C-alpha cells in the first residue's frame, strides 16, 4: 500500500544520496561527548526509516540497530542491509515506546523522529534506560513554532489543532492526516520532555560541520547559526532543535 506521507515518498531520493553526510555529521557532533571510540560504538537508530543513515553508521561503528514502527520501511531497510553486505547491522519493526534494552547502547539517535512519537515521555524514558552509563543521545527535532512546517511545507500548519490541520492538508492536496507528524515541541516543551530522560544531562548544540546540514550551504543558515552561537536564547525561535545528552 502506498504511503500517504510525502516526506516518506521522497526520502529515498532525498536522504539516500546524503546519508553518508548525515551519518558523518551525527558522529562529528557527538564525538566531544563520547566516552567510547567511534569504531567501538553500539548504536541505536530510533525511527531509522528506510535505513540509509543506519547503514552508513554501520560502516564506521561496531554495531548498529535500527528500529521503526513502520513494517514497510523496515522491509526496505533489510533489503538495503543485504545490498550493503554489512554484518554489524540489524533492523526491527519496533516502537520506541516499547524498548526493553537496558544499558546496552553507547549512542542513541533520534534524527527528525521525536515529532512522530505520540507518547514522547514513554519513549524518552525507554531510551534513557537503554543507554549505558556515559552513553550519548542525539536528538534533532523541528520547532513547532517555526512558521513553515518542515514536513509538508505549509505555512502555520503546526500551529493548528489536529482537526483543522487535517482539513488544511486535504484542502491543499498535500495529504490527509497530520497526526503522524504533529508532535513537534516548542523550546520550552522540549525542555520539559527531556526531563523524562532520567539521569541524562542535555545541552543545545550546533552541528559540528554546518556544510553537512540540509541547508548548510545557504547564507541565511550560516548567519542564523552565528546568531545562536552569540545569543543562545535564539534557540527559542530556531527552525530546528539539536540537543545532545550524556547519561551520568
- The pLDDT value given to residue 3: 44
- The pLDDT value given to residue 13: 53
Q: Can you read off the three cell numbers belonging to residue 53?
A: 543513515
CATH assignment of 6-144+184-208+238-247, among 3.90.950.20, 3.20.20.80, 3.40.30.10, 3.40.50.150? 3.40.50.150
Q: C-alpha distances in angstroms, 182 versus 93, 117, 208, 213, 214? A: 21, 9, 28, 23, 21
- The pLDDT value given to residue 14: 60
- The pLDDT value given to residue 220: 82
- The pLDDT value given to residue 231: 96
Question: What residue segments make up the domains of the chain, in order of their start?
Answer: 6-144+184-208+238-247, 149-183
The interaxial angle of helices 187-194 and 120-130, nearest 10 deg, is: 50
- The pLDDT value given to residue 200: 97
Per-residue pLDDT of the chain (248 residues; tens, 9 = 90+): 334 445 445 455 566 678 999 999 999 999 999 999 999 999 999 999 999 999 999 999 999 999 999 999 999 999 999 999 999 999 999 999 999 998 899 999 999 999 999 999 999 999 999 999 999 999 999 999 999 999 999 999 999 999 999 999 999 999 999 999 999 999 999 999 999 998 999 999 999 988 877 666 678 888 889 999 999 999 999 999 999 999 98
* DSSP β-ladder status, 89-93 and 200-204: unpaired
Task: Please list the alpha-helical segments (H only) found in 85-119.
Answer: none
Amino acid at each position: 500500500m502506498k504511503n500517504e506521507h510525502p516526506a516518506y515518498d521522497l526520502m529515498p531520493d532525498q536522504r539516500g544520496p546524503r546519508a553518508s553526510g548525515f551519518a558523518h555529521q551525527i558522529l562529528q557532533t557527538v564525538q566531544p561527548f563520547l566516552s567510547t571510540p567511534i569504531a567501538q560504538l553500539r548504536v541505536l537508530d530510533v525511527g531509522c526509516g528506510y535505513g540509509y543513515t543506519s547503514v552508513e553508521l554501520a560502516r564506521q561503528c561496531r554495531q548498529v540497530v535500527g528500529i521503526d514502527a513502520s513494517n514497510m520501511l523496515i522491509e526496505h531497510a533489510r533489503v538495503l542491509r543485504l545490498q550493503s553486505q554489512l554484518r554489524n547491522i540489524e533492523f526491527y519493526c519496533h516502537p520506541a515506546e516499547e524498548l526493553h534494552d537496558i544499558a546496552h547502547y553507547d549512542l542513541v539517535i533520534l534524527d527528525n523522529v521525536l515529532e512522530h512519537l505520540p507518547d514522547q515521555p514513554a519513549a524518552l524514558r525507554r531510551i534513557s534506560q537503554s543507554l549505558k552509563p556515559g552513553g550519548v543521545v542525539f536528538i534533532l527535532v523541528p520547532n513547532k513554532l517555526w512558521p513553515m512546517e518542515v514536513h509538508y511545507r505549509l505555512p502555520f500548519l503546526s500551529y493548528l489543532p489536529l482537526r483543522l490541520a487535517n482539513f488544511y492538508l486535504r484542502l491543499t492536496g498535500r495529504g490527509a492526516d497530520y497526526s503522524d507528524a504533529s508532535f513537534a515541541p516548542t523550546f520550552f516543551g522540549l525542555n520539559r520532555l527531556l526531563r523524562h530522560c532520567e539521569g541524562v544531562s542535555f545541552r543545545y548544540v550546533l552541528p559540528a560541520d554546518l556544510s553537512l546540514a540540509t541547508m548548510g550551504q545557504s547564507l541565511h543558515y550560516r548567519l542564523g547559526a552565528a546568531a545562536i552561537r552569540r545569543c543562545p536564547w535564539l534557540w527559542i525561535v530556531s527552525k530546528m532543535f539539536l540537543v545532545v545528552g550524556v547519561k551520568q
